[in-house]
Structure 1
Amino acid sequence: MKISASAFIGLSAVLHHLHFSAVAGQAIDKNGSSSFSNDSPVVAPTFAPVVNNTEPDAGDVGFTNSSASNPDVGDENPSGFHASEPPSYLVEHTDAMMGLCPPRFLDSSVIKNRAIPTNNWWGNIIAHDSNAAIQPIWSNPYSLQMVVDKAPFGMSVSYPYRSRFSGGSSGNNGAVKFYAHGMVREFVFSAEEIVWQKPNFQVVDWADQGVTVKFTAGSSSGTMVSDLVSGMVYSSMKYSGLTPRLVSSAAISTINGQPMGGQVRGSKFEIVYNSGQKWVVYALSSDGRSEKEITLTADGNSALKSTGVFDGILRVAMVLESSWLTTLDEHKSCIVQAANIDLHDDSSYAFKWKTTGDCSCGLLHYAMKHHTETIDKSSGVRQMDGMVAYSTTRGAYQAFTTPGGSADPVWEIKEAQQVPEDFYPSRKIAS
Structure 2
Amino acid sequence: MEPSELIQRYLLGTLSESEVIDLESQLANDANLRKQFAIAAATDAGLRELAIQNSMEPPVVAASTTNRNIWLMGWSAMAASLLLAIVFTVGTNEPKPIATLSTSENAAWESVLPTTVGSELVAGEMKLMTGIATVQFASGARMTFEAPAQFELVDAMRVRMVDGAAVIDVPESAHGFVVETPGGYAVDHGTQFAVSVEESTQTSDFEVLQGEISVHHPASGKEVRLFDEEFASLSDDVLSTHLELSSEQEYEQSNAAAPRLIRVGTDGRTEYVIRNNRRGKWIHSEMLMVKRADSRKWDMRAFFSMDINGVDLDSVSTARLRLNQVPSGKGFASRLPKLNTFAIYGVTNPSKEVWEVDPTWEDAPDIIDGILLGKFDVPRSQQTGTFGIQSVALLEFLRSDADGRVTFVLIRESGLIEGTDRGLVHAFANDAHPEVSGPLLEFTLE
What TM-score results when the alignment is normalised by the length of structure 2? 0.23
Q: Which has the higher helix share?
A: 2
What TM-score results when the alignment is normalised by the length of structure 1? 0.24
Q: Higher relative contact order at CA 8 Å, sep ≥6: structure 1 or structure 2? A: 1
